[in-house]
C-alpha cells in the first residue's frame, strides 16, 4: 500500500468509529431511533476491501452496514440525517440504518435480510457481464451466521459456475446475535467452504489492514481477469452488543475477558502504531486527522438536527410501485 492509501484508510477507519460512537450516544439519549447494529471493532475489513475499488465497482452490505457505507464514501451528513429520520436523510428519513443506498457510488445497500446481499451481488455481477463491464467487480459483505444460509451457498455456487466477478467477504465476528459460531457453524474456518464451490478461500486476521489488503488484492485481480469469485474470511469481533438493547454482550454470552482481549487488538490502534513506527504518520498528522473527523461528525449531527421532518405527504411514496399510464 502506498503512504497515501495507508493514511486514507486510517482516516476512514477513524471516521467510521467516531460516527458510530456518536450514533450510539445519540441513541442512548433517544435522539436517534430505529435499529442500530454497531460495526465498531470491524472497521479494518470494510475499509481494506473497498480501498481496492475502481470506478464502476459495486458492493452489497448488511444489517451491520454503517461501516461499509462509510468505507464506501457515503455522505455522513445524509447518513446521520437518516438515523434521525429526517427528510434530508439518504432514504428521505424513512429507511434508517438498514436501508442506506448510494448506487451512484456503487453502494447497493444495507440490508435487514441476513445473507440477502449475496444474491444481489450475483445479480449485479451478471449485469456487469451482460453489459461488457468486464473490468468491474462486486464485493459482498456477510457474517459467519449468514454463511450458514442457503442463499449464500446458492450464490457461491452460481458465482463459481458462471465465473462471476464477486468477492465474498465473510466477516466472522464469532457471534450471531447471542449464539457462538462454535455452536452453529460446521467448520472452524468459513473459508473452508470455498472448496465446495471450486473457488479460492482464505482466512485472514480481520484486524490487520495489511494482511487484509494482500488478500483482497488477489481476489480483486482474479475477478477482474474474468477468473471468477473468491471467498475471504476476516476473523474479527464486534465490540458492542448486537444492537444497543443487547445488555448481555459483556459478561453474558461473551465473557468480559474475551471482549477485553479483542479490544486490546483494536484495528485502529494497530494501524496507528504501524504508521507512527514506520514514519508514515507523525503525531501531528494523527491529531489533525482526528480533529478533521471530529469536525465532520459534529457537522453531520448539526445537519441532521437542523433538517426538517419528512412531509406527511411522502408517507405512501415508494411503498407501492407507481402505475404507469399509457
Ligand X SMILES: Cc1ncc(C[n+]2csc(CCOP(=O)(O)OP(=O)(O)O)c2C)c(N)n1
Nearest residue to ligand X, by Cβ distance, number only: 143
Instruction: State which residue, 143 or 310, has the beta carbon closest to ligand X.
Output: 143
* Interaction of residue 236 with Mg ion, rule CB under 5 A: no
Least distance in angstroms from the C-beta of 217 to ligand X: 24
Instruction: State which residue, 63 or 77, has the beta carbon closest to Mg ion.
Output: 63
Output 217-223 pairs: Cβ under 8 A, ≥24 positions apart.
217/52, 219/167, 220/52, 220/137, 220/167, 223/137, 223/165, 223/166, 223/167
Number of residues that bind Mg ion (CB under 5 A): 5
* Interaction of residue 307 with Mg ion, rule CB under 5 A: no
Say which entry of Mg ion, ligand X, none residue 12 contacts (CB below 5 to 8 A, set by partner kind).
none
Instruction: State which residue, 10 or 262, has the beta carbon closest to ligand X.
Output: 262
Instruction: State which residue, 190 or 268, has the beta carbon closest to ligand X.
Output: 190
Say which entry of Mg ion, ligand X, none residue 112 contacts (CB below 5 to 8 A, set by partner kind).
ligand X
Say which entry of ligand X, Mg ion, none residue 96 contacts (CB below 5 to 8 A, set by partner kind).
none
Characterize 34-68 residue by residue with b for buried, 16 or more Cβ atoms within 10 angstroms of its Cβ, and e for exposed. Answer: eebbbbbbbbbbbbbbbbbbeeebbbbbbbbbbbb
Torsion from C-alpha of 173, 176, 181, 187, nearest 10 degrees = -90
Which positions ≥6 away from 164 have C-beta within 8 Å? Answer: 122, 125, 126, 129, 138, 158, 228, 229
Least distance in angstroms from the C-beta of 147 to Mg ion: 9
Least distance in angstroms from the C-beta of 173 to ligand X: 5
Say which entry of ligand X, Mg ion, none residue 65 contacts (CB below 5 to 8 A, set by partner kind).
none
Q: Give me the residues that bind ligand X (CB under 6 A), please.
A: 63-64, 112-114, 143-146, 173, 175-177, 242
Nearest of 70, 21, 83, 78 to residue 44 by alpha carbon? 70
Nearest residue to Mg ion, by Cβ distance, number only: 143
The correct pick among 16, 173, 203, 236 for binding Mg ion (CB under 5 A) is 173
* Interaction of residue 143 with Mg ion, rule CB under 5 A: yes
Give me the 30-69 binding string for Mg ion, x by CB under 5 A, dash otherwise.
----------------------------------------
Say which entry of ligand X, Mg ion, none residue 177 contacts (CB below 5 to 8 A, set by partner kind).
ligand X
Say which entry of Mg ion, ligand X, none residue 265 contacts (CB below 5 to 8 A, set by partner kind).
none
Using the structure block, give the residue that is written with the C-alpha cell 449464539.
Answer: 179
Instruction: State which residue, 30 or 150, has the beta carbon closest to ligand X.
Output: 150
Task: Please check whether residue 28 is in contact with residue 307, taking contact to mean a CB–CB distance below 8 angstroms.
Answer: no
- Where along the sequence are the contacts to Mg ion (CB under 5 A)? 143-145, 173, 176
Amino acid at each position: 500500500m502506498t503512504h497515501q492509501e495507508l493514511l486514507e484508510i486510517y482516516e476512514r477507519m477513524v471516521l467510521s468509529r467516531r460516527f458510530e460512537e456518536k450514533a450510539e450516544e445519540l441513541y442512548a439519549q433517544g435522539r436517534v431511533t430505529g435499529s442500530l447494529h454497531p460495526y465498531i471493532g470491524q472497521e479494518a475489513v470494510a475499509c481494506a476491501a473497498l480501498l481496492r475499488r475502481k470506478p464502476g465497482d459495486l458492493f452489497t452490505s448488511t444489517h451491520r452496514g454503517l461501516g461499509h457505507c462509510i468505507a464506501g464514501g457515503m455522505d455522513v451528513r445524509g447518513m446521520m440525517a437518516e438515523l434521525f429520520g429526517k427528510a434530508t436523510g439518504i432514504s428521505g428519513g424513512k429507511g434508517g440504518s438498514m436501508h442506506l443506498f448510494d448506487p451512484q457510488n456503487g453502494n447497493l445497500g444495507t440490508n435487514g435480510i441476513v445473507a440477502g446481499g449475496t444474491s444481489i451481488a450475483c445479480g449485479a455481477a451478471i449485469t456487469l457481464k451482460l453489459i461488457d463491464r468486464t473490468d468491474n467487480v462486486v464485493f459482498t459483505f456477510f457474517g459467519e451466521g449468514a454463511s450458514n444460509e442457503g442463499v449464500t451457498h446458492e450464490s457461491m455456487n452460481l458465482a463459481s459456475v458462471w465465473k462471476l466477478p464477486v468477492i465474498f467477504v465473510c466477516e466472522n465476528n464469532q457471534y450471531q446475535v447471542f449464539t457462538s459460531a462454535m455452536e452453529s457453524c460446521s467448520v472452524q474456518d468459513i473459508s473452508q467452504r470455498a472448496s465446495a464451490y471450486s473457488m479460492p478461500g482464505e482466512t485472514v486476521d480481520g484486524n490487520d489492514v495489511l494482511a487484509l489488503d494482500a488478500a483482497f488484492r488477489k481476489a480483486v485481480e482474479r475477478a477482474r481477469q474474468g477468473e471468477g469469485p473468491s471467498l475471504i474470511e476476516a476473523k474479527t469481533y464486534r465490540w458492542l452488543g448486537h444492537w444497543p438493547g443487547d445488555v448481555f454482550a459483556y459478561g453474558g454470552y461473551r465473557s468480559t475477558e474475551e471482549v477485553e482481549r479483542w479490544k486490546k487488538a483494536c484495528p485502529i490502534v494497530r494501524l496507528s502504531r504501524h504508521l507512527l513506527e514506520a514514519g508514515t504518520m507523525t503525531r501531528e498528522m494523527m491529531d489533525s486527522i482526528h480533529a478533521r473527523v471530529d469536525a465532520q461528525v459534529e457537522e453531520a449531527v448539526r445537519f441532521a438536527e437542523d433538517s426538517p421532518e419528512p412531509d406527511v405527504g411522502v408517507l405512501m411514496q415508494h411503498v407501492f410501485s407507481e402505475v404507469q399510464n399509457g
